[in-house]
Amino acid sequence: MEDIKGIVGKYHHDASQLISVLHDTQAKYNYLPKSALELISEEMKIPLPDIYQVATFYKAFSLKPRGKYHIRVCLGTACHVRGSQRILESVERDLGIKSGETSKDGLFSLESVNCLGCCALGPVMMVNKNYHGEISPGKINKILKKYV
């Protein structure tokens, strides 16, 4: 947990930098472990319930371990009318998991989101920071193979 002390120190134990501390912590562990949140609370002098309030408010944070590859399928209006629900179902079928779950091997986690901000490319799916646009169910397997 020395990493956490380093992250908190980087922001000078400043409570107004909590979101940045949580982002860096999640980048390190791929989620926000309870032990890390407890140490952040202690180091930054912020009550633990306040930290959980922030961590659960923002969808970018996860309290459960995520897979090495975090897949987000856009279900926003523009993507929805172009078949994003079929994309989500195809990914679920190919990976054997539902939205909100992580594969047993810890390789993939899947979630549906309301918008990824690139409506003209719909339907859109992100894998970590990589956008995949104008996809169809037939392209899912090929995209996923890039990450195995």
Strands 125-127 and 108-113: unpaired
Instruction: Encode pLDDT of 99-132 as tens digits.
Output: 999 999 999 999 999 999 999 999 999 999 999 9
Average pLDDT, the chain: 95
Q: Which numeric CATH code is attached to 69-145?
A: 3.40.30.10
List the 108-113 sheet strands across, edge first. 108-113, 69-74, 125-127, 130-132
Using the CB atoms, write b or e for 58-76: b if 16+ within 10 Å. Answer: eeebbeeebbebbbbbbbb
Over range 1-10, report the average pLDDT: 92
Instruction: Encode pLDDT of 25-72 as tens digits.
Output: 999 998 999 999 999 999 999 999 999 999 999 888 999 999 999 999
Residue spans in the chain of domains classed CATH 3.40.30.10: 69-145
- Single pTM value for the model: 0.80
- pLDDT of the residue at 99: 95
Checking if the pLDDT of 2 tops 90, the result is no
Q: Could you tell me the pLDDT band of residue 22, with boundaries at 50, 70 and 90?
A: very high
Return the number of other C-beta atoms located less than 10 Å from residue 93's C-beta. 11
Largest CA distance in the chain: 51
| Distance between CA atoms of residues 49 and 128, nearest Å | 29
